[in-house]
């Protein structure tokens, strides 16, 4: 079963359970998937759906920071609840040590040296670690690997 099919089944389950918060978040995710499919005239595979979930989680984190700075804890809590629903659809994340080891292997494989090669390394790293690691952690690991 594809990830998109799993999300659709979870939506049906949330409907049956009358879980309105979960249902709203899942519908939002499915709408984002459908929007991207229509805009780009493609059918999303699991990797693309994971990337979309990552993007939605990042948006929620940014919103939480904005709401907390504005003193709107009620809205920040709503966004945090949405993050919990969305995280179910992400694969197991790599630890910082695993990310660093993978980045070092890619740097060695490409023969990259120095900060000038960061773009070349990040291009390869993004394709291999998409959905498996947070890109902020990956970027820091690439900088560390290229500076040593």
pLDDT at 146: 81
- Cβ-contact 115, 147 below 8 angstroms: yes
Question: What are the structural domains, with CATH classification, of the chain?
Answer: 3-87 (1.10.1510.10), 96-147 (1.10.10.410)
- At 2, is the secondary structure helix, strand, or coil? coil
pLDDT averaged over 10-residue windows placed end to end, the chain, 148 residues:
93 96 96 95 89 92 96 95 93 84 85 79 82 81 82
pLDDT at 98: 86
DSSP 90: S
How far apart, in whole angstroms, are the C-alpha atoms of residue 111 and residue 49? Answer: 32
pLDDT at 143: 86
Q: Against a cut of 0.85, is the pTM above it? A: no
H helical segments located in 41-110: 46-69, 73-87, 96-110
Q: Tokens at residue 21, please?
A: 């918060």
């Amino acid at each position: 079963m594809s990830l998109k099919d799993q999300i659709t089944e979870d939506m049906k389950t949330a409907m049956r359970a009358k879980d309105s918060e979960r249902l709203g978040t899942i519908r939002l995710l499915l709408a984002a998937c459908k929007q991207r499919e229509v805009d780009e005239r493609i059918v999303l595979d699991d990797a693309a759906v994971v990337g979309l979930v990552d993007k939605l989680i990042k948006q929620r984190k940014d919103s939480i920071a904005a709401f907390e700075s504005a003193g709107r804890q009620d809205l920040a809590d709503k966004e945090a609840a949405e993050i919990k629903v969305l995280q179910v659809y992400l694969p197991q994340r790599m630890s910082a040590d695993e990310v660093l080891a993978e980045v070092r292997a890619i740097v060695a494989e490409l023969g990259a040296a120095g900060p000038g090669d960061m773009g070349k390394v990040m291009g390869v790293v993004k394709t291999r670690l998409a959905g498996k690691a947070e890109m902020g952690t990956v970027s820091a690991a690439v900088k560390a690997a290229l500076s040593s």
